[in-house]
Amino acid sequence: MSADDNLLLRIRGVAKRFDSVVALRSADLEVRAGEVHALMGANGAGKSTLVKIITGVFPADAGEIALSGKASVFRSPAEARKAGIVSVYQDPAIVPDLTVAQNMRLARVPLDAVKAAMRDLGIDHIDLSRTARDIDFALLRLIDLSRAIASNPSILLLDEITAALPVDLSERVFALVREWRRSGRSVIFISHRMAEVAALCDRATVLRDGITVGVTPTAGAESRIVDMMLGTDVARAAAEAPARRASAAVADRPAAIEVRDLAYGHALRGVSFRVAPGEVLGVAALEGQGQEELFDCIAGVRRASSGEIRTHGEVLRLRHPADAIRAGLVLVPANRLQALLQQRSIRENVALAAFGRLRAWGPIAMDEEKRRVDDAVRRLQIDTRASPELRRLSGGNQQKVVIARWLASGFRTLLCFDPTRGIDIGTKRQIYALLREIAAQGASVLLFTSELPEIRLACDRAIVLFGGRISGAMDAGEADEARLLHAAHGLSAPDAVEAHP
């Protein structure tokens, strides 16, 4: 049987325009039965738009879609589901104020099948009568995935499913995808993490500026894929890792931020560390080891049960995020939906923080605000073609808006919680370079990342959390994945890992 006989989905010349924005010019995609197929492309390349066209969220302006050789146009996700195509979209399709069970009923999927899928993913401990709003974002995505699996599709589309997931939960998704392939079904997998694409996917289709620019087996093709995604010139610039400052006895300087014996219920216990001015301190941890509580306490979102937080020697009383912002501590949260006003313009969203601050200082300096906002938008290369509405930006570009906001307003310490979630490899490098630049100008950065290789690229030092305590501390040069993972599992003998590669 030839590969063509095995073709499940064939897409030719799909185009889509939103007013003046051309999201897709001519997208081609062929997915075989029993294949895990990566859909790659930089932020804004058109991946999510293609996923939404395939699953009937909106119609294409042009092009053909054929399923098992038969021309197929779906007018809604429900129609696509009936034909065996189901997607887990980038933002969970879950109503926050309903319980998990109510959400599943809303999606018309049988609860028993959802429970079975949750069991397969190892998340059956979640009480289905809990309100979705109270459930961690990473777990919500897995619940959304369980919903998708429950209808047993022949093609599963996963749009950046692992972007919010820590290593251990990502592994469960990979196991499921492999099982899916073994049973002859197909997965279309979108991710900005090249390592997982190379490990998991059979072939990749690459989109650039809305056009399919190549199809390749993934094995050994990582750098070729990056070249295709970014265009060769940009890829070359992106490959130059940001220069890490020579570690000039940073730890000896007075701390920009010092955390002493911090506790928050059982989630955080006796956590102490310092970040010097000009330093980027990385925080690594598996899911739910106290990292969210740590960032929330420092950002004034939650009140610590005991312990102290100081900036430049002064003990802070943080009762509200505004207290932290006044002390120069600002948070870039992982969940951009929390941080952004979807109905407002990009400009308003970037100006949000600066606006409050400038107003506190006196008359609003509109020119100054405009200059700062323009500068931040330019530095982060935010794609403003779809201006003025923020909600029309691609996921990665929305994430950049959150960072741009604080760039425009100024701060002394940037608390970044997984800031490069869902961001393409070129932009990621820009963000690391930006964090380094911010540090070089004297600010300090505390960076939690669920992507362990980022620690070495962006940080000077790293601490690792396990069970609410610090289970490891090391210089970035030593923070390879094996060492970090070891500490993240509460194992204190990284040398043992090296001894058994």
Ligand X SMILES: Nc1ncnc2c1ncn2[C@@H]1O[C@H](COP(=O)(O)OP(=O)(O)OP(=O)(O)O)[C@@H](O)[C@H]1O
Residues contributing to the site for ligand X (CB under 6 A): 18, 21, 23, 41, 43-49, 383, 385-386, 392-397, 424
Block residue for tokens 């964090």:
435
How far apart are CB 141 and ligand X at their closest, in Å?
A: 15
Hey, which residues does 264 pair with through a beta bridge?
268
The whole-angstrom distance between residue 421's C-alpha and the CA centroid of its chain comes to: 2
Answer whether 286's CB lies under 8 Å from 486's CB. Answer: no
CB of 205 to ligand X, least distance (A): 12
Distance from C-alpha of 77 to C-alpha of 93, rounded to nearest angstrom: 11
Provide the minimum distance between the beta carbon of 44 and ligand X in the complex, in angstroms, as a whole number: 4
Instruction: Choose between 58 and 266: whose C-beta lies nearer to ligand X.
Output: 58
Tell me which amino acid residue 455 is. I
Q: Which is nearer to ligand X, 48 or 311 (CB)?
A: 48
Q: How far is the CB of 426 from ligand X (least distance, A)?
A: 11
CA gap 499, 501 in Å, rounded: 6
Q: How far is the CB of 16 from ligand X (least distance, A)?
A: 8
Minimal distance in Å, beta carbon 176 to ligand X? Answer: 22
CA distance 157 to 58: 16
Residue closer to ligand X, measured from CB, 46 or 288: 46
Task: Kindly report the number of other CB atoms within 10 A of residue 359's CB atom.
Answer: 11
Closest residue to bound ligand X by CB: 396
Euclidean distance between CA atoms 143 and 40, whole angstroms: 24
- Assess whether the previous peptide bond of 494 is cis (omega < 30° from 0): no
Name the minimum Å distance from CB 335 to ligand X. 15
CA angle 151/48/227 to nearest 5° reads 125
**Min separation Cβ 185 and ligand X, Å:** 23
Which are the contacts of 32, defined by CB distance < 8 A and separation ≥ 6? Answer: 3, 6, 7, 8, 186
Residue with smaller CB distance to ligand X, 192 or 483: 192
Question: Phi/psi at 18 (nearest 5 deg)?
Answer: -110, 105
Give 35 or 424: the residue with its C-beta nearer to ligand X: 424
Smaller CB distance to ligand X: residue 276 or 393? Answer: 393
Quickly list DSSP for 326-364: HTTEEEE-S-HHHH--TTSBHHHHHHHHHHHHHHHHSS-
Q: CB of 399: closest distance to ligand X in angstroms?
A: 8
Alpha-carbon gap, residue 321 to 330, rounded angstroms: 8
For the bound state, the minimum distance from the C-beta of residue 430 to ligand X, rounded and expressed in Å, comes to 14
Residue with Cβ nearer ligand X (43 or 205): 43
Q: Encoding tokens for residue 193?
A: 């993490």
- Could you tell me the CA-to-CA distances from 312 to 94, 341, 407, 414, 461 in Å, in that order? 42, 33, 21, 15, 19
Amino acid identity of residue 192, one-letter, is H
Separation of alpha carbons 134 and 232, rounded Å: 44
CA dist., res. 484 & res. 197, Å (int): 21
Are 304 and 271 in contact, with CB atoms under 8 Å apart?
Answer: no
Q: Which is nearer to ligand X, 204 or 324 (CB)?
A: 204
Least separation in angstroms between CB 22 and ligand X: 8
Q: Which is nearer to ligand X, 68 or 342 (CB)?
A: 342
Give me the helices (H) in 385-424, please. Answer: 395-409
Cβ-based nearer residue to ligand X, 18 or 174? 18
- 3-class secondary-structure state, position 448: strand
- Identify which of residues 90 and 154 has a Cβ nearer to ligand X in the complex: 90
